[in-house]
A = this chain, B = another copy of it.
Amino acid sequence: MLLSRTRTSIVDIARAAGVSKSTVSLVLQKSPLVSEATREKVNAHIKELGYIYNRGAANLRQSKSKIVGIVVNDLTNSFFAELAVGMDMVVQSAGYVQFLAHSGESVDRQREVIASMRENGIAGLILSPARGTEASDIKALVGGDIPVVVVVRNLPGAKVSTLLSDNYAGAKAAVRHLISLGHSRVAFMGGFQDTAVFGERLRGYRDALQDAGIAAEEKYTIHSAPSRAGGVVALERLMTIPERPTAALCLNDAVAFGVCDGLRAHGLEPGKSFAIIGFDDVIEAKTAVPALTTVSVDPQGMGQRAAQLLLKQINSGQRDQEAITTSVRLVVRQSCGAPVKQLEEMA
């Protein structure tokens, strides 16, 4: 708990170098006011005494900080881990540090950790909200005092900036591609219906079918946990329905992998017996066998943009909300790939 017996401060250096603490402060700030000679002398003593700048004291004096808070709903999901890494990159390069915490989809935990971050003086917050977060929750936590950027999951009604991927367009493009390959019985697999992401992707899926004059069968939409295990479960469900689909758009890549697992367990070959498209383009997507056709979201790039947006707002002091949707693109690989004739035969 003790930070040190009492760590060496600016006045220790001042005393050692025979100058005033103000001068040492100026040296630390690389002010041009101080003469070359004293600057060197002071720097020598700084090095010698192993001085460590106390940014907390400076923050107190200046009523500002170079700390941002990042709260992510699930760090064990590699999509969000990549997102966090992207943020980390730009935050670090800007000379800031981050409190980075994992809410584990718990709004309680999220509330606590945001409160704690605020007490510790963050200058801004990036939030990938836990499932079930209300717009009013964050208003209560950060009442417009600091800029907030909400990413990935929309929080309708919250007076904050948002950075979302274009879920609707991505899903639509994916399903259009499946249709162009000749599929007409296309499922939408995975996810819980209470999330905004699910809703947007489902809408894209439906509209693509409708545009092609295909009626969207209710039974072809199969809910499950948005995870690999959930994908396995969803596939089991799918196998039981009559007029079984020949292709599926999955809520995300994790579900898609689970569906692949499930197909194999049934002796079916993903990409040959059944066409699959994922969503997110996690790193494993391209090395998996078969390589996963998916909608690429570039989570790392998204994290970078989110952090840039936040830093911009911090530095400009501007608090007006900005809503950005980042474009996505369909990456065609093997999992959707076989000629459709063959698929029809096997179904």
Q: Let me know if A232 is at the binding interface, CB within 8 A.
A: yes
A119 to B266, CA, bound (A): 57
Asked whether, in the complex, the Cβ of B50 is within 8 Å of the Cβ of A60, the reply is: no
Among the listed B92, B109, B116, B283, which residue makes an inter-chain contact with A76, where contact means beta carbons less than 8 Å apart?
A: B283
Query: A346 at interface (Cβ–Cβ under 8 A)?
Result: no
Q: Which of the candidate stretches A61-69, A165-173, A196-204, A211-219 sits at the interface with the other chain?
A: A61-69
A11 within 8 A of B: no
**Which residues of A47-84 have CB atoms within 8 Å of chain B's CB atoms?**
50, 52-57, 59-60, 63-65, 67, 75-76, 78, 81-82, 84
Q: Given A4-B145, A287-B229, A314-B1, do A101 and B121 touch, yes or no (CB 8 Å)?
A: no
Separation of A143 and B120 alpha carbons in the complex (Å)? 25
Give the complex CA separation of A189 and B8 in angstroms. Answer: 50
A interface residues, Cβ below 8 angstroms from B: 1-4, 6-7, 50, 52-57, 59-60, 63-65, 67, 75-76, 78, 81-82, 84-85, 88, 92, 95, 97-102, 104, 109, 112-113, 116-121, 123, 143, 145-146, 228-229, 232, 257-258, 260-261, 264-265, 283-284, 287-289, 314-315, 317
Chain B residues closer than 8 Å to A116, beta-carbon distance? 92, 95, 97
Contact A56 B54 (CB under 8 A): no
